[in-house]
Chains A and B, each alone.
Chain A
Amino acid sequence: MFRSHVLVCGGTGCTSSGSARIITAFERELASAGLEKEIKVIKTGCFGLCALGPIVVVYPEGAFYSQVKPEDVPEIVEEHLLKGRIVKRLLYSETVQEDTVKSLGETQFYKKQMRVALKNCGVIDPENINEYIAYDGYMALGKALTEMTPEQVVQCILDSGLRGRGGGGFPTGRKWAFAAAQPKGIKYVCCNADEGDPGAFMDRSVLEGDPHVVLEAMAIAGYAIGAQQGYIYVRAEYPIAVKRLQVAIGQARELGLLGQNILGTGFNFDIDIRLGAGAFVCGEETALMTSIEGRRGEPRPRPPFPAVKGLFGKPTILNNVETYANVPQIILKGPEWFSSIGTEKSKGTKVFALGGKIHNTGLVEVPMGTTLREIVEEIGGGIPNGKKFKAAQTGGPSGGCIPAQYLDIPVDYDNLIEIGSMMGSGGLIVMDEDTCMVDIAKFFLEFTVDESCGKCTPCRIGTKRLYELLDKITKGKATMEDLDKLETLCYHIKENALCGLGQTAPNPVLSTLKYFRDEYIAHIVEKRCPAGVCKSLLTIQILPDKCKGCTLCARNCPTGAITGKVKEAHVIDPEKCVKCGVCIEKCRFGAIVKK
């Protein structure tokens, strides 16, 4: 028995800000204080509040320490763990109260959240199967195998209304039902862990924080459709996730929860890991399967659908990590419980990776139907530096930008599609007035051009042309005719591309055209970038009333474009200026601005 537990976040965000050194420091300090038998240090998965990492939580008090440095560890050990006095200076400011700590659940960031898929993340030690089991782990598999028929499992998932969390939102139960209806024989269960949307990392957090939930759900799926083999296709760029999956598979096999004759029921199921090698298109289901087969990950036309003819030509189901993370709880608590959460057509919760111009960057899980305003302003803590909200980007390169006028719509699959974006895997990037929407559209198209597999012409050539048109606009060289061309080409690609990647590639352009058309026009007609981002369209000016004549800018200008006498206002020669912005960075008086 331990009297205290110290949980240190070992998720990617906190590992990047140095949580491994904190664990070492705790182990060292505890040993030297002779406390190693009384206090246990546990490396957990992601807590979600990455902006305040590295995070350390001490139980039983539930003290939530944020931005902890290795130097702070001796103080925590000495004061808190030895003398029982919480170190207030290191607490997350929102949890500080007069004489106790406020529980995390009461803070703005966590109050409106509801954790289903992330239930165990930041709670258990992901490398210890017993901790998972202690939190009802593998109970759902036991229930499915001993109390339910495969048909009942499929029906349960159907009734829950669970939809795919990876992008399209296809009903998971229907996928399972199709595959289950195929004649008996070899079938496969696959897990899409090739999270590719730049700015989305929820699947990674589930794999790193709670790997067994994915294994358990895949085994349940295997039982439901009659498969004996599963594959997890995971990005090689996620080394921590890969390692924890390997550990988890090994432990599950040891306890007979994977392999032959699971729980003595005669059901056989095993899982192998396949590493992705960095290709965005492999998130598309047919491309992913081609990649597991060891070939170029190019998509193929559907039908035949994977449920009929998938991996190695056999019936296959493919679900995303977050989708699987919901399954065990649906089996245990019943489909009615799950379908009571969310909106009419989108049930359950959704995890979002909040990022960009927002205070609380990190992972949040909310019931479907929560408004964008609640997510951005309450949970996310609003926009830093007193700037104004301009748009939220969802759905990654396949999605769109949602303007301020829609802040109050309930976020679910259908509402997002209606306003020209999509749920996607759940990246949610907040943009403020300093973000140029044309530049953002160009950014996403550059991504798509790079990631297009080249198999079909509309995507291979069309996206390249879109990119070139956008580039022309940001350089102030486009005409209004180009704008029409841009729009026509978007619709052409949407209708003719082979797979989801191509069909949705124009979305960032279309949605910004729809809501921020005046910005495009400002670039084209007035040759001006309203947000002050597009370098070719900017002029840099010195404000004479603020300039002190310190000469620092003139000395740093690489092209000698700035002239002026000491203690007199300086000027920039627009002919010589290359708009590199060095002068703005160097000026100590805020006297130089882009216009």
Chain B
Amino acid sequence: MSNRVCKLPFKGTENQERELRALIQRLRDQDGALMPVLQGAQEIYGYLPIEVMEIIASTMGVSLEEVYGVATFYSQFSLNPKGRYKVSVCLGTACYVKGSGDVYAKLQEKLGITTGECTPDGEFSLEACRCVGACGLAPVMTVNDDVYGRLVPDDIDGILAKYQNA
């Protein structure tokens, strides 16, 4: 997982911050609130910039180190922004046995990025995931909510083209 702190400038708005503070207010008294707060924060901002983690730490009265520790532990949390199109290749066993490794290599080559990264134009981000639960369609990849199954590496160009000009 590429979970280095993001170097892109923080573009959070006042509205987002208000929403975040309201979220914390609503959840802070429940047992084990940090995870739901981080999940909500990621929904508001799309990712978890260090500035957001600072707000969470100071309002919830926990250390930034603890917030950062939880945020980097789980693969669902991203410290980097995601692309407009989130490409995700299943590297679960059923897909792997049927060749999803080659599909993934082809995508890395085509997009010029690797796991957890985003293309410089902000269009595509790439990640490997574990089992979408659609093993009958193996190998599988998803682009946002669209699912593509029974893939061979040669399908990649056509699939990416659909989004490149969209």
A: residues with CB less than 8 A from B are 12-13, 15-17, 49-53, 196-201, 204-205, 236-238, 274-280, 291-297, 312, 353, 355-357, 361-362, 393, 396, 427, 429, 431, 435, 440, 443-444, 447, 450, 453, 581, 585
Contact = CB atoms under 8 A, between A and B. Distances in A.
Contacts of B152: 585
Contact of A274 (B32, B92, B94, B97): B32
Contacts of A431: 97
Interface in B25-67: 31-36, 38-39, 66
Nearest to A435: B97
A447 B154 CA distance: 26
B75 A278 contact: yes
Nearest to B142: A16
A199 B74 CA distance: 20
A361 B94 contact: yes
B23 interface: no
A356 B138 CA distance: 8
A16 B35 contact: no
Given A199-B131, A294-B32, A450-B1, A356 B97 contact: yes
Contacts of B32: 274, 292-295
B142 to A, nearest CB: 8
B132 A16 contact: yes
Among A17, A393, A444, the one with the most B-chain Cβ atoms within 10 Å of its Cβ is A17
Given A12-B134, A361-B135, A356 B74 contact: no
B91 interface: yes
B135 A278 contact: no
Contact of B136 (A13, A236, A278): A13
Contact of B138 (A278, A361, A396): A361
A16 B147 contact: yes
Contacts of B33: 294
B149 A16 contact: yes
B56 to A, nearest CB: 12
B24 interface: no
Interface residues of B, number: 41
A444 B92 CA distance: 10
B137 A16 contact: yes
A201 B33 CA distance: 28
Given A275-B35, A275-B36, A296-B73, A355 B133 contact: no
Closest 5 CB pairs of A and B: A50-B136, A355-B94, A198-B92, A277-B74, A294-B32
Interface string B138-155: 101000000101001110
Contacts of A581: 102
Contacts of A292: 32
11 contacts: A12-B133, A13-B135, A13-B136, A198-B130, A291-B35, A294-B70, A295-B66, A355-B93, A355-B135, A355-B138, A357-B97
Given A361-B138, A429-B93, A297 B132 contact: no
Contacts of B149: 16-17
A277 B72 CA distance: 11
The residue in B33, B91, B131 that gathers the most chain A C-beta atoms within 10 A of its C-beta is: B131
B94 A279 contact: no
B77 A277 contact: yes
B129 interface: yes
B154 A585 contact: yes
Find the residue from A50, A276, A312 having the highest chain B CB count within 10 A. A50
Nearest to B102: A581
Given A17-B137, A205-B133, A295-B70, 10 more contacts: A15-B147, A50-B137, A199-B93, A200-B131, A236-B76, A274-B32, A275-B35, A362-B135, A393-B93, A443-B96
Contacts of B94: 198-199, 353, 355-356, 361, 427, 429
A362 B76 CA distance: 26
Contacts of A278: 74-76
A196 B136 contact: no
A51 B92 contact: no
A92 B97 CA distance: 26
Contacts of B147: 15-17
B133 A356 contact: no
B67 to A, nearest CB: 10
A13 B132 CA distance: 9
A482 to B, nearest CB: 23
Residue from the set A13, A274, A440 with the largest chain B CB neighbour count within 10 Å: A13
B106 to A, nearest CB: 10
B34 A51 contact: no
B69 interface: yes
Interface in B89-125: 91-94, 96-98, 102
Interface in B6-30: none
Given A279-B73, A585-B153, A361 B136 contact: yes
B23 to A, nearest CB: 14
A154 B97 CA distance: 42
Most chain A beta-carbon contacts within 10 A, residue among B74, B76, B136: B136
A444 B135 CA distance: 17
Contacts of A356: 93-94, 97-98, 138
Contact of B93 (A205, A274, A277, A427): A427
Contacts of A238: 133
A279 B74 contact: yes
A296 B136 contact: no
A286 to B, nearest CB: 15
A393 B98 CA distance: 14
A209 to B, nearest CB: 12
Contacts of B132: 12, 16
A445 to B, nearest CB: 13
B74 to A, nearest CB: 3
Contacts of B1: 450
Nearest to B70: A296
B76 A237 contact: yes
A357 B98 contact: yes
Contacts of B130: 196, 198, 280, 447
A199 B73 contact: no
A315 B75 CA distance: 29
Given A16-B147, A356-B97, A277 B136 contact: no
B76 A297 contact: no
A236 B42 CA distance: 13
